[in-house]
Structure 1
C-alpha cells in the first residue's frame, strides 16, 4: 500500500513538473516571438500622376521592426533615381531597384532604419532618343532579392588620377535644370510624401531627400522649392545651380554633396559655383565630398556607406 501511495504521489508531482515545463516553454516562445522584429517589406503603392492623370506605382520600403514596433515613428527617405531608370511606373518600375538606398536595403539586405520612398520618373520621350543605356536595358539586368544571402555587389572601379578641370564660376548661360527632369513631377513627389506621412508611422522631423545624377539635380530643385520640408538632403553626382540656393541657404538646410573626380557625364567643374553661392549666403551646413578616384557611378560607394545614413539620421527639422 505504501508503495502505491508513493507511486501515486510521484506521478502527480511528475505531471505538475511537466505542466510547469510546458508553461515555461510556451511563455519563452511567446516572449521570443514578441522580441523578434518583423521582417522588412517592399510594397508597391499606386497614385494618380498630376502630370497626365494616369495611375502609376512607386516602391515603399518598410524597415525591419516596422510592424513589431507599432508606436515607433520612423525616419523617411525619398530617393530620386537617375536617367537610366525612367519608366511607366508599372511593369518598368523594377528598374529603380538597380541603384540607391532601396537596392542596398532590399537587394543587399543592409539594415537601414528608414521608410524609403522610391518613385519612377516618367519616360517622356527618352526611349526615342537613341540613348544606349535606356534602349539596351533588359529586365534580366534587374537585381533580385535572394532568399538566402545576397548577390555580389558590383562596385565602381577606381580610375587613374587626373588633373582636375578648373571650376566654372559663371553659370549665367547654363540652365539650372536638366530637360524633362524631376521638376516636371514636383506635385507628384509632394503628394506621395504626404500620403506616406498620413498612412504610415512617420517621424516628420526626420524626412530626407537624396538622388543620383538626374535625381541629384532633382534633389536640388525640390530642396529649393520646399526647403523646410526636409531635415537634410544629399545630392549625388548632380550639381546645384547658384540660382537655386537662396531659399536653401535661408533655411540653413543641411547638405552633403557628392561628386566623382572622373565623372565624364556630370563634370566636376560645374559643382563649385553652387557650393560657393551657398557660402556667400551664409550657409554653414554644407559638406562637399569628391571621390577623386571615381567616375559617374561614385553613387555605388556613397549609398553602400553606413556613414551616409548615419549623417542623415543626425539631422532633424528645427
Structure 2
C-alpha cells in the first residue's frame, strides 16, 4: 500500500512540475547544467560535422555527480565501451529540480554548437521517465531545433501547444503496465499529434512496467533518429 502511494505521489509531482508554456521557458533564468560528453573515436582526425543526440536522464539520477548518469541509457553504453558515429551530450538535472524548472537548454545548445563540429540539421533529443517529460517539453519549447525526438515513458501536460511539434518526427515508447507514469500520458499526446497531422511512431510495450531504459542498449532508437534531418 505504501509503495503504491509513493508511486502515485511521484507521478503527481512529475505531472505538476511539467505544466509549462513556451513563454515560461524563455522567461526562466538561464542555468548551466554540467554534462557528460561523448565524441566519436574519429572526431579528432576528421573535419566533418557530426549529428548530436542529447539524452535526458530520469529522476533517480539528479544531483551533482555525473557518474550517476552511467547507470543506464547512452552514458551506460559509452561506459561499457560502445562506439557511436554521433556526439552524445547528457546533462544532469540538479537534485530537487525537474527538466522544466530552469532554462538549461539555451546554455547547453550554445556551448555545444560553439565548441564542437555539430550538424545543426541533425540534432536529436531523447529521454526516459522524467527525461521523457523533459524531451516532450523541450521539443515543444524549441520546435525548430530538433530533427526528431524519442521520449520513453514520459508525458506532457501541454494540450495547447503540443501541435507546435507536428513537423518534428516522434518515436515514443511506453509500457502498458507502467504504474509510475501511466501509458495514458503518452496515448493522449499521440492522439493529439495525429489529429494535427504530426509524424508519430508509437511503440506500446504490452505488460511492461516503468523500467524500459534497456531500450537504449539496442541500436533501434539511434538508427531511427539518424534517418531524420531537419528541413
Tell me how far apart the structure 2 counterparts of residues 51 and 224 of structure 1 sit (CA, whole Å).
18
1:290 aligns with 2:204: yes
1:113 corresponding residue in structure 2: 85
1:220 aligns with 2:136: yes
The count of aligned residue pairs is 203
Q: Does the residue aligned with 2:119 lie in a helix, a strand or coil?
A: strand
Q: How far did 1:239 drift?
A: 2.0
Structure 1 residues 102 and 277: CA distance shift in structure 2, 3 A: same
**TM-score, reference length from structure 2:** 0.82
Structure 1 residues 273 and 93: CA distance shift in structure 2, 3 A: same
2:223 corresponding residue in structure 1: 310
Instruction: Extract unaligned runs of 5+ from structure 2.
Output: 1-27
Q: How far did 1:261 drift?
A: 2.0
1:268 aligns with 2:183: yes
1:236 corresponding residue in structure 2: 152
Instruction: Extract unaligned runs of 5+ from structure 1.
Output: 1-49, 125-179
2:125 corresponding residue in structure 1: 209
2:19 corresponding residue in structure 1: none
Tell me how far apart the structure 2 counterparts of residues 192 and 303 of structure 1 sit (CA, whole Å).
22
Q: Does the residue aligned with 2:160 lie in a helix, a strand or coil?
A: helix
Instruction: Please tell me whether Structure 1 or Structure 2 has the larger radius of gyration of its CA atoms.
Output: 1
Tell me how far apart the structure 2 counterparts of residues 235 and 244 of structure 1 sit (CA, whole Å).
17
Deviations 1:165-216, CA, capped at 9 Å, x for gaps:
xxxxxxxxxxxxxxx4201122x22211111111111111100001110000
8 Å CA contact retained: 1:220, 1:244: no
Q: How far did 1:52 drift?
A: 8.7
Greater RCO structure (CA 8 Å; 6+ sep): 2
> Where has structure 1 moved over 6 Å in runs of 4 or more?
none
Q: How far did 1:51 drift?
A: 5.3
1:169 corresponding residue in structure 2: none
Q: Does the residue aligned with 1:182 lie in a helix, a strand or coil?
A: coil
Q: How does 1:13-24 map to 2 (within 5 A)?
A: none
Tell me how far apart the structure 2 counterparts of residues 306 and 57 of structure 1 sit (CA, whole Å).
26
Q: How far did 1:56 drift?
A: 5.4
